[in-house]
Amino acid sequence: MTTMDPHDRIDMTGPWAGFGFQGGHMFTPEGHHLEPCDMTWWSLTCNIAREWRLMMEEARPRRTRSAASGRPCGTMDSSVVYLREYVRIRRERRLGMGDPGTGAEPSNVVHMSRGPRRPKRG
């Protein structure tokens, strides 16, 4: 049976190459040291990464189709995903706050102001 000293450096291989353990801590390929308590956040980090992947997949440009043949063309709708714009549009759809359009009537909201102030005693 092989014994391992937890203070010796242990490098991982395969898809985990670059990661390793040394002195009771895990280290990343970038050189960050992770405490055991840091690993409790992995589930949250993985969920955030999954949502990010789905959001980017939804916003990724799709190949356009030829109107005549219906087959995919070589051109894309767009090659850039503007995350801020995508998040804003998604939020507006979810909350039902779409763009009123050019034919919308002006708002009848009255902005209140405090009016003139009294002179300060001095």
pLDDT at 42 over 60: yes
pLDDT digits (tens, 9 = 90+) for 45-96: 899 999 888 888 877 776 666 556 666 655 555 556 677 787 888 888 887 7
Say if CB 79 and CB 61 are below 8 A apart. yes
pTM strictly above 0.95 = no
Give the pLDDT of residue 18: 92
Q: In the block, which residue shows the tokens 């009771």? A: 24
Residue type, 50: R
Mean pLDDT of the chain: 76
Of 110, 90, 87, 106, residue with least CA distance to 98: 90
Give 82's DSSP letter.
-
